[in-house]
Chains A and B, each alone.
Chain A
Amino acid sequence: DIQMTQSPSSLSASVGDRVIITCRASQNIKTFLNWYQQKPGKAPNLLIHNAITLQSGVPSRFGGSGSGTVFTLTISSLQPEDFATYYCQQSYSKRTFGQGTKVEIK
């Protein structure tokens, strides 16, 4: 199975900060990379698919980039509702999630 590694595992940030989360794949997955947000007690919510495409209804402060083995999720100006855990997931071969990045209030 393809392994997905996120960094950092957690971070503390303030409202208005720019936040960058990195996801690395164990092999080339082209752009078959998706990002999800999960809040406590809730199901995950798809933010970005195919590495760069914003899911309908997701605010434009979220952005994705990358291809091959290295990908990033950027939140340009962190808002109070963005404090959550974020997961990357590959869809190149079967499916695999990263271990998650918890974004906490500083």
Chain B
Amino acid sequence: EVQLVESGGGVVRPGGSLRLSCEGSGFTFEDYAMNWVRQAPGKGLEWVSGINWHGSRAGYADSMKGRLTISRDNARNSLYLEMNSLRAEDTALYYCARDGGEQFGMDVWGQGTPVTVSS
């Protein structure tokens, strides 16, 4: 079964840091670009960051640029997101999603890991 499983979410104080992880299984992880997408409570989807299959090229949403680092370890079938200087408005469910490329969309999603930024 093709699957993505996120972990690493939790409660963090404003200004703090967190590292999210996403492990893929049931497919050749290194063949795909990957993304992080978040959804604040009661709000819509927001693309956060993406990385190409090799890990050599990354993109970030302007709203979070400078506070994020996306990376991957294909040997471990894993995707990561380091988040720094967290704010209350970063509170959201964070999904990882497999990206088939410009013409194919995000076709596999995890169940999400919740991040709460609160004092």
Contacts and interface: CB of A to CB of B under 8 A. Distances in A.
Contacts of B37: 44, 97
Interface residues of A, number: 26
A49 B105 CA distance: 6
B25 interface: no
Given A43-B112, A94-B47, A97-B45, A32 B102 contact: yes
Contact of B103 (A32, A89, A94, A97): A32
Interface residues of B, number: 26
Contact of A89 (B59, B105, B109, B110): B105
A31 B62 CA distance: 23
Contacts of A44: 37, 45, 95, 97, 106, 109
A99 interface: yes
Contacts of A19: none
B95 A43 contact: yes
B35 interface: yes
Interface of A: 1, 31-32, 34, 36, 38, 43-46, 48-50, 55, 85, 87, 89, 91-92, 94-100
